[in-house]
Amino acid sequence: MTRPKDTDTLPCQNLQCKYCQKEKDKNTIKHGKNPGAQKGHKDHGLKIQKQPDQTIQHKPQQCKHCQTNLTQIPGTQTDTRYKNDINIQTNLTKHNQITITCPNCQTPNTKPYPKNLTSTIQYGKGVKAISVLFTHYAMDSYDKTQKILNDIFDIPISTGTIVNHVAEFTQKAEPILNEIPQRLHNEKVLHFDETGPYVEGINSGYIRHPVVRPHMLRFIPNGVSWVRMTMVCYLGLGCGGS
């Protein structure tokens, strides 16, 4: 029994498909177990980690049998389901500078802008943080990052500006990057390991040496430092570790 070539990569919708039943039987014989979670398996399914932002009550309006109005009758919650979604929203804040002329001495008084407003149009900390995360954590190109920000987040931005955001992050991250090896040097006990990275599926021949202590990670000297603190340095959440 072979499955037709034109359906090899398609999910089978026929519950009586002999090919799928044969594959299921082969798997059961090979491992001695039925497919899916086994008895006693610890549940790792989707769990709700926060309070819902919105709750919708699905309440019947009338009796399905006699059409009696049920809108004023309290009901009993019998089931609950959740839907996780992303609300992509860009915040554009307009800052108006107001000048008031003193009625007494006729002196014009203008309140200065906040120090972080240095140009007519600029980008906030969230845009800068996402620019760095996409280009250096997700490893997207500058061009792709520019397209994502423009097309999905509706943020007009150039690749040159993204490069500037990365350079700014480099300066902000420098103090903690310098602190990590110093703190490791002062530790009494360190955990060393050797890892041979692969490049395009082939061992590169280089060795990187991770040196680890709680809350600190540093690859030396042949590796690269990957410190996940982009949001920390930009959004001011406190640079307390890697």
Report the number of secondary-structure helices (H) and strands (E) in the chain.
Answer: 5, 7
Q: Per residue of the chain (242 residues), what is the pLDDT tens digit?
A: 454 544 444 455 555 566 566 665 655 555 566 666 667 666 666 777 889 999 999 999 999 999 999 999 989 999 999 998 888 889 999 999 999 999 999 999 999 999 989 989 899 988 998 999 899 888 899 999 999 999 999 999 999 999 999 999 888 888 877 887 777 777 777 666 666 666 666 665 555 555 555 444 444 433 333 434 444 455 454 443 33
Enclosing H/E stretch for 163: helix 159-186
In three-state secondary structure terms, 129 is helix
In three-state secondary structure terms, 173 is helix
Find, among 223, 211, 144, the residue nearest to 183 by Cα: 211
The ranges assigned to domains in the chain are: 125-235
- Indicate the pTM of the whole model: 0.58
